[in-house]
Amino acid sequence: MNAKSLVLTKDQIEQLYALSELSTKAHRNNLRVSQGPEASSYREKAQAYKRTKLRLEALGEDLRALEDERQGLEKDLNSYEAQLKVSKGRLEHSTGGDFRSLPALQVEIYTLESKVGEYTDAELGLMEQLEVLGRERDLLEIEMKRELQDALAAKEELEALRADVAHLDQTLQSDIAKLRSAIEPDVAALLERVPTQIIDKVAFVIDLSCSGCRLRISSILMDRIKRFGGEVHYCEECGRMLLPERDLVQ
């Protein structure tokens, strides 16, 4: 059947409008779940939690690296301290017979004492950093737990909305199915020409523009609509079915 030759009756136009309205309602209804404030709130909160979790993991790695460094320092420090003890013991027990080696031993003790001082300072510095990072980790852990609670609460809210919407959608879909089955196959076939991604399949002309995409209708199409007002036309921009104006319907 040639679409151009089909002239819609008033009832058919009303059916198409009703179907388009119901479809749009069902579409908006479902969009509320994926794009509504509940969904974005959940997304934001889940992201905040993940960000904090990652920061916490990075902080944990820094802490472990610092702790390794501190343990290495401590090992060296213990070894210097042990050497120092031995050298000091040698100095104490050195008896008069070995004067020549005494200055060398004193230099050795001096060197070891500075090493011990240097390594003690370094270890204290590391311990201070560990304490600062540890406090930061404790605070982040509290923050992460709070963010997790927030994200779970937002998820629950979204799930409740999803259930409500699904319930509403069931009613809408059954209304759509009823209406669709009431529409004559010839007329329903006209709707199939509209791109599938377009939910509200029908539009009409307002101020020389398509009410669906709001773009201006070309003068060629406008001319055809004026000459064959009762026929079905499609918007050249969005593909929606442009319904004839009601007063042109026979």
If the CB atoms of residues 80 and 234 are measured against Zn ion, the closer one turns out to be 234
Q: Are 20 and 163 contacting, i.e. CB atoms less than 8 angstroms apart? A: no
If the CB atoms of residues 163 and 215 are measured against Zn ion, the closer one turns out to be 215
Residue type, 78: N
If the CB atoms of residues 183 and 238 are measured against Zn ion, the closer one turns out to be 238
Cβ contacts of residue 172 below 8 Å, gap of 6+? 22, 25, 26, 29
If the CB atoms of residues 181 and 196 are measured against Zn ion, the closer one turns out to be 196
Q: Are 243 and 13 contacting, i.e. CB atoms less than 8 angstroms apart? A: yes
- Determine which residue in the list 151, 165, 187, 238 makes contact with Zn ion, applying CB under 5 A: 238
Task: Give least dist CB 35 to Zn ion, A.
Answer: 22
> Does an H or E element contain 78, and which?
helix 37-93
Q: At what angle do helices 10-35 and 185-192 cross, to 10 degrees?
A: 40
Pairwise CA distance, residues 210 & 221, whole Å: 11
Please give the structure tokens belonging to residue 87: 């050298």
**Residues 209-228 close enough to bind Zn ion by CB under 5 A:** 210, 212-213
Task: Give least dist CB 4 to Zn ion, A.
Answer: 18
If the CB atoms of residues 127 and 222 are measured against Zn ion, the closer one turns out to be 222
Pairwise CA distance, residues 94 & 70, whole Å: 36
Task: Give least dist CB 149 to Zn ion, A.
Answer: 47
If the CB atoms of residues 40 and 218 are measured against Zn ion, the closer one turns out to be 218
State the number of binding residues for Zn ion (CB under 5 A): 7
Among the residue ranges 40-48, 118-126, 221-229, 230-238, the one whose residues contact Zn ion (CB under 5 A): 230-238
User: Is position 237 an interface residue for Zn ion (rule: CB under 5 A)?
Assistant: yes
Among the residue ranges 60-68, 173-181, 218-226, 239-247, the one whose residues contact Zn ion (CB under 5 A): 239-247
Both ends of the chain: CA-CA distance in Å? 20
- Strand 202-203 and strand 205-206: pairing? unpaired
Task: Give least dist CB 204 to Zn ion, A.
Answer: 10
Reference 233, options 188, 179, 194; nearest CA is: 194
Task: Give least dist CB 3 to Zn ion, A.
Answer: 17
**Residues 15-74 close enough to bind Zn ion by CB under 5 A:** none
Please give the structure tokens belonging to residue 46: 């889940």
Among the residue ranges 8-16, 125-133, 157-165, 235-243, the one whose residues contact Zn ion (CB under 5 A): 235-243
Task: Determine how many CB atoms are found less than 10 A away from the CB of residue 184.
Answer: 14
Task: Give least dist CB 238 to Zn ion, A.
Answer: 3
Site residues for Zn ion per CB under 5 A:
210, 212-213, 235, 237-238, 240
